[in-house]
Amino acid sequence: MAGPSSADTEHWYSTGLGQVYDALDADSGGLSTEEATRRRSEHGPNRIPKAKPTTVWEVFVRQFKNPLIYILGLAAVVSFAIGEGTDAAFIAAVLLVNALVGGIQEWRAERSSQALQQLIRTRATVVRDGETRDVDGEDIVPGDVVLLESGFRVPADIRLVSTHGLEVDESALTGESAPVLKDADWEGDDRTVLGDRDNMAYAGTVVNRGRGRGVVVETGADTVVGRLAEDVTAVEGGQPPLVTRMERFTRAVGLVVLVAAALTALLGVFLQQYDAVEMFLFAVALAVSAIPEGLPVGITVALGVASRRMATVGVIVRRLVAVEGLGSCTMIASDKTGTLTANELTVTRVQLPGGTTLEVTGEGYTPEGDVLRDGHPPEPERADELSRLARASVLCNEGHLSRRDDGWTWRGDPTDVALLAFGRKLGWSRQPALDAHPQTGEVPFEPEQRYAATFHRADGGTRVFVKGAPERVLEMCTDASEGAFSRSALEQRATEMAHDGYRVLAVADGRLESEPGQLPSEPADLTFLGFLGMVDPLRSGVAEAVASAQRAGITVTMITGDHPETALAIARELGLAESADEVTTGTELMDASRERLAELLETTRVFARVSPDQKLEIVEAARGLGHYVAVTGDGVNDAPALRQANIGIAMGKMGTDVARDAAELVISDDNFATIVAGIEQGRVAFDNIRKVIFLLISTGAGEVVLVLLSLVAGLPLPLLPVQILWLNLVTNGIQDVALAFEPKEGDVLDRPPRPPDERVFNRVMVERTLVSALVIGVVGFGAFVWLLDQGLSEAAARNHLLLLVVLFEVVNIGNARSETTSLFRLSPLGSPILLAGTAAAFLVHLGAMYFPPAQAVLGTAPVALEQWLILGAVALTIAVAVELHKLSWKMRYPPRSGTEEPPSNTQETEV
């Protein structure tokens, strides 16, 4: 069989049924077993593409893909080549520790987010050899005739041939929470968006009710689901902000190290007439002092700490760098269904015939809540009306809602389940109601009739209970013909409720005079009981979370496949939009240029009836405007955009495997509010990373100044390479790891996001590092000269100087705890891990001064009490200098709007 052309595969829904059969070389009688086997060999199994699971080895190797790691590795190779085996071993050890820490963290996250089941793995009913039979979903082939029934998962993309009340839940594909009523006779054009193609049923969607028959047009990777899954692997993911910033920072560090080392060698050879080999070794020592060997471990631990904190609020981190990326995002492109809303229809408004309007509390299918009028229980005379309405809602119903030990379970059409939850809030349960009112007949819902009815023995006779479209049900009711009870007035009320974003259902009942078994073809002379207004409600806390995100300077944009009016109703509750003019539809985006799309992103916060490729275009346009974009989603329709975003956030509870595979973060409870909590932890992580960087760079830079001053003065090397490594990897290494556990400073959500192009080393860090480095370098050099003048040997002077630098580190870690708050206002008890880490680092060095093997390697020795006191007093100079700089900074750049950042015109001073 010749496969259909690409044009055909794009427009099965707008092609005549005869042409569809011709293109597939099939007919309404189905395929033979032999032909189906041949086609399976040709097309392959009906299975969507699956991302290859990441192995432990791949996760481990990924930890070494960092420019700073490359520099450290080069330093280790050079050290080994010149015979400095101890230095090389130290560097290799820290690289291994970093890879193990990061690898274990990411592997755990990877395993926790792996897919639990395949999206398409089901049984299907097909017509083969003229007979109806069940086959494995993977054996479905193009041309198969498939039968669909309530509860079935659609096994492939199907062009419908006939439908009988067929409703399909397409929320995982289109984002629309309400089920779609299918119609095999529907005709559309080539511009019809995915959610409006009524003559198609797509792979991975679920049949809620009714029956259908259709011919398979696409399977496996060629289905809409399959193409989306392939897009995930084809689209290159956005780079997290931390990676971008650290790459620039590492390039700057590498350049400084290279220049400093070369300058040192040239000065020594040509100015001081040192031996070239000796100066090369000197340059290597200087490079070792300049490279912050402990930085990879410090950053990894900071991200690991943040990822564990995120896990406590429901955010599973699959890539460590995504931790800080979430905190740096400037835009959240959020799906509506299941993320902002509960993805569970809920009756939230009741309007009784006399005009009384009541609110129904509670959300979702959990039947917990009350029916209130203006916040209070309704008047007693309304109790009978409400009870009668609730009885009709649970009897004219095909859903199921029951309680188990672990909570509530349900099945069936979302509308029916919502009615059952509403009935329980008023004391009516379906099974007890059926026991009291045995069912004798029914009129199932049909799209042509737009209502459903059930007949029951009740009140000594037969009663009929009806639900359906307001205009259709009202036609069956006795018209009071005047005032609030008139049909026209009631229809106007239903229209107003629909305009407010409600899905409106009318309910009525009546008594039958006919004999049992002689049910009428259509109920008549009914009593109207009321309108029920249903919505897919906001998740608890989402409105507050959106407000918090906006307060934090983050643009929140809703991108959904749902109907514009439904999207607008939710947007009003969230404060994202007020009128229809503020909603842009997928149809409008079809002809929009890239420039027009960029303009829309500046003003529009709601995009409705959007297709997957349009969502991808919106994300790309936002990134083009300079945004760091975090995209949320749960369906396969979201996967390409999740992959393209800087940060992809998938839903873990209701999300699909395809979406989770495409994302860096997974939200365990599917709640937008959890994302905002994650943003807070991401910002804390970046703050702590900056603190770690400041501590290590300022100490390393101080060592560079110390070495350069000693070289220019013609003095011996003040610290041996192994002593420098001891400082950078052990004493400072313990403290910078502890610094990664720092709690947040104030409310980090009260400040705007850092500019996307801001570097790690902005002006405040540049100035603070220079101050600290000069104090360590100049004061340390002065102390070294003084120690030599006192008659101490080079080894003894180095031992004292090494202790002085350790004391500098102890004081400087207090400086690093805050960029603006005074060291003396920060209680050490406020950060117990840092206090313990600082004490541990100091005790480790103290032990090295008394432990013989360490003395032999490091050249350390005990120091007299008098020297301790002098060196301790000298070390306090760095606290005084940094406190003066903090005061100067506040005077020059007073904090504004909760942010500690200087005006943007200071950007050019960043490194």
List, by residue number, the catalytic residues: 335
Give the Cα separation of 597 and 618 in Å (integer).
7
Q: Distance between CA 399 and CA 188 in Å, rounded? A: 32
How many Cβ atoms from other residues are within 10 Å of residue 520's Cβ?
14
Would you state the structure tokens that stand for residue 795, as one six-digit string?
A: 């080894």
Q: What is the distance between the alpha carbons of residues 798 and 75, in angstroms, rounded to a whole number?
A: 23
Q: How far apart are the C-alpha atoms of 231 and 644, rounded to whole Å?
A: 10
Question: Residue 753 in contact with residue 328, Cβ under 8 Å?
Answer: yes
Closest CA to 838 of 860, 861, 818, 815: 815
Q: Look-up: residue for tokens 């013989």?
A: 852
Report phi then psi at 146, rounded to 5. Answer: -115, 140
Q: Which two tokens stand for residue 88?
A: 């090389």
Position 597: which residue type? L
For the record, the structure tokens of 734 come out as 């313990």
Query: Which tokens is 287 given?
Result: 């490079």
- Number of CB atoms found within 10 A of residue 377's CB: 12
Contacts of range 484-488, beta carbons closer than 8 Å, 24 or more positions apart: 484/353, 484/354, 484/355, 485/353, 485/354, 485/528
Is there a contact between 31 and 143 (Cβ–Cβ < 8 Å)? yes
Which residues neighbour 453 within 8 Å (Cβ) at sequence distance 6 or greater? 396, 442, 443, 464, 465, 466, 523
Distance CA 911, CA 472 (A): 70
C-alpha distances in Å from residue 367, one per residue of 338, 733, 756: 19, 55, 45
Note every long-range contact of 356-364, with CB atoms under 8 Å and residues 24 or more positions apart, other chains counting.
Answer: 356/382, 358/382, 358/386, 360/422, 360/425, 362/421, 362/425, 363/537, 363/538, 363/539, 363/540, 364/421, 364/537
Contacts of 104 (CB under 8 A, 6+ apart): none
The 3 state secondary structure assigned to 634-656 is CCHHHHHHHHHCCEEEEECCCCC
Q: How many CB atoms lie within 10 A of CB 110?
A: 19
SS3 of 428, please?
Answer: coil
* Among 773, 746, 884, CA closest to 822: 884
Structure tokens at 815: 């400086």
Q: Pairing mode, if any, of strands 400-404 and 200-201?
A: unpaired
List Cα–Cα distances, 370 to 23, 374, 431, in angstroms. Answer: 56, 12, 21
- The CA-atom distances, in angstroms, between 752 and each of 203, 331, 748, 756, 893 are 42, 12, 9, 11, 16
What percent of the residues of the chain are helix, what percent strand, and what percent coil, each to the nearest 5? 50, 15, 30
Phi, psi of 351 (to 5 degrees): -125, 115
Say if CB 160 and CB 210 are below 8 A apart.
no
Residue 804 carries which DSSP code? H
Helix (H) or strand (E) holding 505: strand 503-512
